[in-house]
Each structure stands twice: as structure tokens, then as C-alpha cells.
Structure 1
Amino acid sequence: MSKTQKYVLIGMGAFGQEIAYTLKEYNAELIIIDKNADTVAQLKRDGFPFVVQLDSTDGFSLEKFVSPDDIVVLSMGESFEDNIVTVGILTRIGVKKIYTRATRIIHEEILNQMKNTITLFPEREEGKRVALKLLYKEFYLIEEISPGIFLCEMDVPESFVGQTIIELDVRNKYGINIIGLKKHSEDNEGLISSEMQVIGFEKVILEKNHILAFLANEKNMAQMLKHKF
């Protein structure tokens, strides 16, 4: 195996597979470990170059595929005991960064006390994202990129039209960090959006058909929606 840092994904449920296919798109060096033979066979057919059928609680076998500098993601939802045992083995190997999935609050609390673990709670995170989308229907995109900070897209507020981002100074006044600008355009098939402009957009005079991409917390998201600037 390569001595360079790689990603090791253990457990290939829906959550694990989503991570795997995304990393594959970016040509990341990746090892997938799952104990289900059918899952392993399917992933090999899908073009993953290194997929191993293995029970991750078998420490002797696991240490053959994992090194201390690897980034490991555990997404085994069916057995919390197996999750704990695997974290223990990875810690013994010396892995410094272990992302592990929790499905219950008590599991999250236990995992947070273990060395070098970063706990993921995808069901809760997805539930919160859906709730925010229901509350803020005018937003095209809401993604939590770090605790309490969201990447959002929405139409330019009416009060912004005719001004530039520099003139509005929303970052200093309201904590909104605008990171890009898109523009609605229309072709023969209907309404479409242009590519995101991330350089030089601060000096563009905003129009009604512009879409803002910005970072904000929940309080500032609500302010943005109510056009209280």
C-alpha cells in the first residue's frame, strides 16, 4: 500500500456510499472496507480500484490496510458496539483523524469522549437542513458547512438592486459574507442560471435577476429574508 495519506471508508450504507462516490469524483486515494460480499462486488463493478471485504473488528486484518496518517470515516449504522471496537483498533494503530457516524445522542456523547474522533450525526444534520428549507422557501440552497454557519443562495433583495456589494457593506454591518454572484438568464427551454462569479463580483451593480451566494448564521439568514438591511 502507498505510504501517502489516503481516505479509508469503513461501512458502505447510503451515507458511506455517498462519501465514497464523491471522493471518487475528485480522484482521491481511497480504500473501501465492508463486510458484505454483495456490496464489495458492486463497488468493484462501479470502478472503485481498492475495495476489501473485511470485518473491521478484526484488528489483525484491519491494520494491514490502515496507517496512522490516513483519514478514516466509519459509517457502520447497524452496530454501535462494532463502531466502538473499530475506533479502539484505529486508535491503537495510531490514526489521528477518525470520523465516526452516530445515530443516537448517547452514542454521540460516548464517541466524543474517545481520542481523535470527530462525530458525524447525518440524520440530525439532514433534518435540520430540511427544516431550514421549509422555513426559508425563498432560498435555493442551504448547506451547513460548519457548526452554525450556512452556505445559502437567494435572489437579490429588492433593497440591494442598483448598488454594489462594496457599497452595501453587508459583511461589516450584518455579518453576511457574500462569496459569489450568479445571474438568471433564459434560453429556449426556460429559466436557467449562469455560472457562479467569484472574482470581481463586488463591483457589479446588482440587478433583480441576480442570485447571491453567501455565508450566514441562522439569525442573519432570517434578516436577509426579511430584507431588514
Structure 2
Amino acid sequence: MKYIVVGLGVFGASISEKLAEMGNEVIGVDISMSKVEAIKEKITHAISLDATDMEAVKNLPLDDTDVVIIGIGEDKGANIMAAAVMKQMKVKRLISRAVDPLQRTVLETMGVDEIIHPEKETADRWAQKLNLEGVVDSFEIDSDFSIVETKIPEEYHEKTIKELNIKDQFDIIILTTMSVSPSKNELGTETEKASVNGVARADTVLYKDDIMVLYGHNKNIKRLLEEHKKFKEGDLG
């Protein structure tokens, strides 16, 4: 996949390097030439430009980029302006960092797809999440095993865990499910709220577009998610 990361501070540099290590094409962008120089050998490309300048941003290969990540942290104004520019450019998927609740609310109101919190360890978790298509969130236990949240696909709708037999097919355990319901933030913008349903059992029924929390080896989780993608695209059979 192809990523553009805007802002190459501690968080932006960390997630850029992690995504590049996973075999993705990563373009890092920062107004600071010193930050560009520090990372240019570790990712695909590193570019110095002002991401709040629409004309400058037009030089980026946005049309064939899968995900744009706004990693700017220290300058909240620049963060919001860069996100606004990317929204105007109609990028495929826009993710932005937020350092406080108000900034998060503003970004949600602007229609930013997903919000990242600024903890250093989040860079690894988000790199893992972004590298697996269909993942809502993830937590890496070690280099091989993870706990992953993913939306329940249509083919699992109204089926029990026992019926699906995921443990035998993929060697993956469903730990719990989460019901997703509409909610509103402080400015009245529509968002989604997830409620945990307790420990999953064999007779737990799954519902499409809710979330299931999986535990297993990374390669098995990736295999399961790829099966979901094939089913959705009509390639099974």
C-alpha cells in the first residue's frame, strides 16, 4: 500500500519507519528540512513542503495514495489546516493525530475518517492496524501475535461462533464482540460508539457491522481478513 505521512516528529517518523519496514511505500512530508534529512534513508521518499499550502500539496501523488496520515502534533493549527487541505483534495482515507479533546472534536466535525492519539506506543499499533486491511484497531502482543478489532463481515451475519468454526479453520480465537451504535460528539457531529458484550461463547451470535475482537498469530489474522476481502469482492467460488 501507499502512504503519505505529514509531520515527521517522533510520532510521524515512528509510524513512517514502521510502515516502510512492513514493505509499504511511504512518503514522508515535513516543512523542516532537518527532519526530512533525518528520515530520507529509512522510507521510500521524504519531501520538504508546507502541507497547509494547497498549491504545494497538489505536487504530492494523492490520487494513487491509499492513506494520508496527519502526524503534526506540536502545532494544532497546522494540524487542522493540513487536514482541511487533504479533505479538499478528496484523499481516499484521511487519518489525523489529535493531542486534546477539542482538537479531536474539530477533526471529527471536519469529517476526518479516523483520529490518532499521541502516545509513542500508538505508532506501532497504528502501523499494525494500517498494514492489515479491515482492522479497526490492534494491539501487538509480540512480533508474532496480536489482538485485533475488525468489523464483522456480512457472511458472518446471524451465525454463531460455533457455526463459523473460526478456531479450527484459522487457529484464531474470538475474545468478545462489540455492538456499534450511532452517537454524537460535543458539537453534535454523528460518530459511532462501541459497547463491549462480554466474553464470547460458542453460542454467541455475530451481527454484520458490529466488531469482533480476535486473538491469534499475525499471519492467520491476515489470512482471515483476506478471505473477508475476497468474499466481499465476489472472488470466492
**TM-score using structure 2 length:** 0.53
Q: Is the 8 A contact 1:10 1:34 kept in 2?
A: yes
Q: Is the 8 A contact 2:96 2:112 kept in 1?
A: no
Q: What residue in structure 2 maps to residue 146 of structure 1? A: 149
Q: What residue in structure 2 maps to residue 220 of structure 1? A: 199
Q: What residue in structure 2 maps to residue 55 of structure 1? A: 50
How far apart are 1:215 and its partner, in Å? Answer: 3.9
1:49-198 aligned within 5 A? 49-70=44-65, 71-123=67-119, 145-146=148-149, 171-172=161-162, 178=167
Structure 1 unaligned runs (5+)? 130-139, 150-169, 180-197, 202-212, 222-229
Q: Is the 8 A contact 2:13 2:39 kept in 1?
A: no
Aligned partners of 1:105, 1:53: CA distance in 2, in Å? 29
**Identical columns (%):** 23
Aligned positions, number: 153
Change (3 A) 1:148 1:103: farther
The secondary structure found in structure 1 opposite 2:50 is coil
How far apart are 1:34 and its partner, in Å? Answer: 1.1
User: Residue 63 of structure 1 aligns to which amino acid in structure 2?
Assistant: K
Q: Is the 8 A contact 1:177 1:216 kept in 2?
A: no
Structure 2 unaligned runs (5+)? 126-140, 153-159, 177-195, 201-237
Change (3 A) 1:148 1:95: closer
Q: Per-residue CA shift, 1:128-170, capped at 9, x if unaligned?
A: x9xxxxxxxxxx6695633899xxxxxxxxxxxxxxxxxxxx9
Q: What residue in structure 1 maps to residue 231 of structure 2? A: none
Change (3 A) 1:94 1:25: same
Aligned partners of 1:125, 1:220: CA distance in 2, in Å? 26
Q: Is the 8 A contact 2:3 2:27 kept in 1?
A: yes
Change (3 A) 1:146 1:15: farther
Higher deviation after alignment, 20-29 or 82-91: 20-29
How far apart are 1:28 and its partner, in Å? Answer: 1.6
The secondary structure found in structure 2 opposite 1:123 is coil
Q: Is the 8 A contact 1:6 1:30 kept in 2?
A: yes
Q: Is the 8 A contact 2:17 2:42 kept in 1?
A: no
User: Residue 88 of structure 1 aligns to which amino acid in structure 2?
Assistant: A
User: Residue 199 of structure 2 aligns to which amino acid in structure 1?
Assistant: N
Q: Is the 8 A contact 2:3 2:24 kept in 1?
A: yes
Change (3 A) 1:143 1:123: farther
Q: Rg bigger for which structure?
A: 1
Aligned partners of 1:47, 1:119: CA distance in 2, in Å? 25
Q: Is the 8 A contact 2:2 2:26 kept in 1?
A: yes
The secondary structure found in structure 1 opposite 2:110 is coil
User: Residue 148 of structure 2 aligns to which amino acid in structure 1?
Assistant: I
Q: Is the 8 A contact 1:68 1:93 kept in 2?
A: no
